[in-house]
Chains A and B, each alone.
Chain A
Amino acid sequence: MNYLLDLQSFLPGIIVAVAGLAAIMLEAFKKSANTSFSVTIGGIAVALLFAIQSLYGEAGTAFSGMIVYGGVGAFGSVVVLLGALFCVTISREYLRDLDLHNGEVYGMILFSTTGMLGLAVSNDLITLFISLETMSICLYVLAGLMKNEKIGAESALKYFLLGAFSTGFLLYGIALIYGATAATNLTEIAAAAQPTFLFLCGTGLLFVGLFFKVAAVPFHMWTPDVYQGTPTTITAFMATAAKSATFVAFVLVLTRMLPSSEIGDWQSVLQVVAILTMIVGNLIALAQDNVKRMLAYSSIAHAGYLMVGLAAGNEAGYAGVLYYLFAYTIMNAGAFGVIAYYERNHGLDFTEIDSYAGLGFKVPVMGVMLSVFLFSLAGIPPMVGFIGKYYVFAAAVQAGLIPLAIIGVLASAASVYYYLRVMVYLYFKEAHKEYSLKTPGFLFKWTLILLAVLTVYYGVEPVLPTSSLMELISSYYTV
């Protein structure tokens, strides 16, 4: 066993973890949050470079089969790191206005990212559990950053209690699976699994734990309150990076632990959850008057579209899910970024849709960008969101799940209403009173512009064609 090679295979995670320790230490000894911020950006950027590099390397397992490297895991790491990078770059100004700009916050973001990276490469239920917990515990703390506000405390407490409860389900599921197969390694489980009652119960409980983390209906109750009570840029981090990591772990569990339908018909379970999630998420989002809550329900709906790809259960479906995660990370980070910009000018209650009246003409670049991101979230071509939805639904049709695809398309059509409603307020309503908006800072503005450009660019020219993603997936069946 060569530990150096093992360490190399998890290099992005190690870099991020060390950067997290450095950020906390710098805060303690130098009392300079800006230094911590630079270390955070630098650490994530370097880790991102290594992750992109490993995307083109070969796939395999490391740490005695505890983690995988290359392939799906590498792609998941890239998406997670992209989400973390964008969220951190838009966080500084926003957190400074909230008086929360300090090294510990960045340290927690980095530790959480470490957990997500572990989650995205987990090949063992123990790795999956520990990484999920590392990610979640940091997110509980981040959800409670605005602890002096009522909604901040509510958000953290709700997230923590429900999260701990769902972790119980997950852990009990893992214990039952271990009892049924005497293995925790995903491929060993696949080899030893029989469709016994014990195994089915265990896998069901494992799914419940994962459903909770990706906010699938009926385990979605925590999402709107938590998203609303968390500082907006951190919400972006939760909605993009955390969700991506959990979905990649889901893909790994499905492809490596449950490769054959002989050990339970999990695709049907996923179909039902996908339908419920899409319908409930979109329907409730229609009725929301708060933009942040609307985006929370929209993120539930997007989890539903992603479930469609998982339910398809073929390589095209998994590749579609991966591409969708990439698309979702870009456009959602952008949308939350613009909302954070509007919000920080006027305080926390400035997320009601009424207060957006006439804002589109104030700082034109921000209004245009919010429109781009919302168009993309609605799945209107030529934005990246459309391509993502197309891949996912096409995979469902290919797998013969025509009704599922039809429900998905209808739900997505309904979602256009609530996304466009924000734009109607932005451009076609008279402002109640005059607001003055600060000019956005350099880093903040250019990050958002980059995100908007990426949203349009990857919509016109999908640089990551699904064929190469499918190669990544198929390399995974063999490892």
Chain B
Amino acid sequence: MDTFIFIFLAVLTIGSGLGMVLNRNTVNSALFLVLNMVSIAGIYLLLQAQFLALIQILVYAGAIMVLFLFVIMLLNLDDERSLFSKVRAKYISAFFLGVVTLSLILYSLEGVADLLPEISPEMETAGTVEALGDVLYTDYLFAFEMTAILLTAAVVGALMIAQYKKSNNGASE
């Protein structure tokens, strides 16, 4: 059963990824990306990484994608009619049926039975918040602190680029 769920999620991930890249409509692309992120979260769950799966949904599928959609809507890249008229029930159902069929075919092929590694008891505890926090502030402290600098730099840099008016500090001195 695990193997089938894995194959289903893998096909869904790749399919939605392709759908996102190949789609001409930006809103549809963004929705495909949401689907992509949700299915990746499912794969994390299969690997017993509950915390990662939750964060994936909350941060990526939730916060970031909502932001994406807002930006797309605000920028008004397409007019409203073309934004929604292309999404038809038959395309959606065709996509999902295709995914299900393809994953069934792949599952029925030989040699996929032992595709997934055994979930060891270690892995079950490694995915929890406690375990993550434990290594994050000890073994991976350096990477953690460097990430802090990275994020600060990213925020300051984004503001520098987005700033409309040129700074006139140089002239005032």
Contacts and interface: CB of A to CB of B under 8 A. Distances in A.
A33 B146 contact: no
Contacts of A148: 166
B171 A138 contact: no
B149 interface: yes
B166 A99 contact: yes
A127 B140 CA distance: 9
A102 B139 contact: no
Given A64-B139, A140-B157, A131 B146 contact: yes
B108 interface: no
A115 B169 contact: no
Given A137-B154, A138-B157, A100 B170 contact: yes
Contact of A64 (B138, B161, B167, B173): B138
B158 to A, nearest CB: 8
B169 A111 contact: no
A130 B147 contact: yes
Q: Which of B149, B150, B152, B158 has the most CB of A within 10 A?
A: B149
Contacts of B172: 31
Interface residues of A, number: 49
Contacts of B68: none
Contacts of A111: 149, 152-153, 156
A287 interface: no
Interface in A3-29: 3, 6, 10, 17, 20-21, 24, 27
A124 B150 CA distance: 17
Contacts of B158: 141
B146 A118 contact: yes
Contacts of B146: 114-115, 118, 127, 130-131, 134
B156 A126 contact: no
Interface of A: 1, 3, 6, 10, 17, 20-21, 24, 27, 31-34, 63-64, 66-67, 95-96, 99-105, 107-108, 111-112, 114-115, 118, 124, 126-127, 130-131, 133-134, 137-138, 140-141, 144-145, 147-148, 156
29 contacts: A24-B156, A32-B169, A33-B169, A63-B142, A64-B138, A66-B142, A99-B167, A102-B169, A104-B159, A105-B160, A107-B153, A107-B156, A111-B152, A118-B142, A130-B147, A130-B150, A133-B150, A134-B150, A137-B153, A137-B154, A137-B157, A141-B157, A141-B158, A141-B160, A141-B161, A144-B161, A145-B160, A147-B161, A148-B166
Interface of B: 138-143, 146-147, 149-150, 152-154, 156-161, 166-173
